[in-house]
Amino acid sequence: MNKKIAVMRGDGIGPEIVTEAIRVLEKVAEKFGHSFSYTELLMGGCSIDATGEPLTEETLASAKACDAVLLGAIGGDVGKSPWYRLPPDKRPEAGLLKLRKGLGLFANIRPAKLFPELADACPLKPELTEGGFDFVVMRELTGGLYFGARETVTENGVRHAVDTLTYDENEIRRIAVQAFEIARKRNRRVCSVDKANVLDSSRLWRAVAEEVAADYPDVTLTHMLVDNCAMQLVRAPKQFDVILTENMFGDILSDEASMVTGSIGMLASASLGEGSFGLYEPSHGSAPDIAGQDKANPLATILSAAMMLRYSFDMEAEADAVENAVSQVLRDGIRTGDIAAPGETVIGCHAMGTAVCERI
């Protein structure tokens, strides 16, 4: 198969981790007889430096013309980088939000998995995580507070800021459908997370989740309030299979979920729309403090490329080959600094990419 991949390396460690993911994709192409072409595009701080905009219309159009997007990470040090002296809609993160919206990527899947080889890195007590855990956060990505009307005004000398949390039932239904479809391929349990004891948008969310559940009698739906969910994630993470939630709650809970795995440098993500097009990126940030030093862990980006193979290209065996190679690397005790236990030998980003390629 021939596939066109838009590559957005981004900022900080983005370029180096994407380099390793592309090396892995090339190894897959060679082994399985595919050909991938790469269109390099600028988004985030690097695009601001080159064009003055975090994402230009031409870049968005070029991305749309590809089969999928592979993204590194964007943004810089908020305290230091000149990007953060620009108006909010000109900053690196605005490019990411425009990209998600412009590509119609309403479903964000963030797996949270305890890798058995890295169990020592998990900050929870071993008795809470015995046997491991493996769930995904399905975060709505193009609605809610992130895209509702906002403004800051001064009335009678008093500054007043407003953000709007808005959802219509169609936005809720399409992400709920995705959550149930994914649950069918997993352990058939959806936990819908909301704040229905306070918010109207959450009461609608809950009602629509129930309606969708009626079409999936083989999947069990439960509801949980978001504050309770934040607590349950550190109390009993094993209880979850698919967590379905709105944009802002998902932003917060997915960071918490990644922390309880103890290895955020390992966690991939996929953002999907209606068709097979998707955007794939690691769940971690651009880590400007270690950029360009060959210290970053490329495994989350490599695992994101595996998700691309599976979800956008329908290449199951190829995705398995990458995921198995990563597991083998871990079993072989190969570690970047972020996942090394005291005394373990640490290798760099490029050597880690090589280690994965060798096991495909």
Catalytic annotation, residues:
146, 195, 227, 251, 255
Q: Which is nearer to ligand IPM, 93 or 323 (CB)?
A: 93
Residue 21's contacts (CB-CB under 8 Å, 6 or more residues apart) are: 70, 298, 301, 302, 304, 305, 353
Write out the binding residues for ligand IPM, residues 92-111 only, by CB under 6 A: 93, 96
Q: Which is nearer to Mg ion, 74 or 322 (CB)?
A: 74
**Minimum Å distance from CB 251 to ligand IPM?**
4
**Minimum Å distance from CB 110 to ligand IPM?**
8
Write out the binding residues for ligand IPM, residues 251-280 only, by CB under 6 A: 251
Place of tokens 């040090």: 77
Tokens standing for 329?
């690397």
Among 53, 241, 246, 251, binds Mg ion (CB under 5 A): 251
**Minimum Å distance from CB 76 to ligand IPM?**
11
Place of tokens 């309770």: 228
CA 124/CA 313 separation, integer angstroms: 36
Q: Which residue is nearest to Mg ion (CB)?
A: 251
Among ligand IPM, Mg ion, none, the one that 96 touches (CB under a kind-dependent 5 to 8 A) is: ligand IPM
Q: Does the protein bind ligand IPM through residue 137 (CB under 6 A)?
A: no
Q: Please return the burial class of 125, using the count of CB atoms within 10 Å of its CB with bins 0-12, 13-18 and 19+.
A: exposed
How many separate helices (H) and strands (E) can be counted in the chain?
12, 12
- Smallest CA-to-CA distance from 240 within 135, 99, 164, 94 is with 135
List the x/- string, 213-252, binding to ligand IPM by CB under 6 A.
--------------------------------------x-
Cα dihedral 55, 56, 60, 65 sign: negative
Side chain identity at residue 313, one-letter code: F
Place of tokens 């009307």: 149
Write out the binding residues for ligand IPM, residues 285-324 only, by CB under 6 A: none
Q: Which residues lie near Mg ion (CB under 5 A)? A: 251
Q: Which residues lie near ligand IPM (CB under 6 A)? A: 93, 96, 251
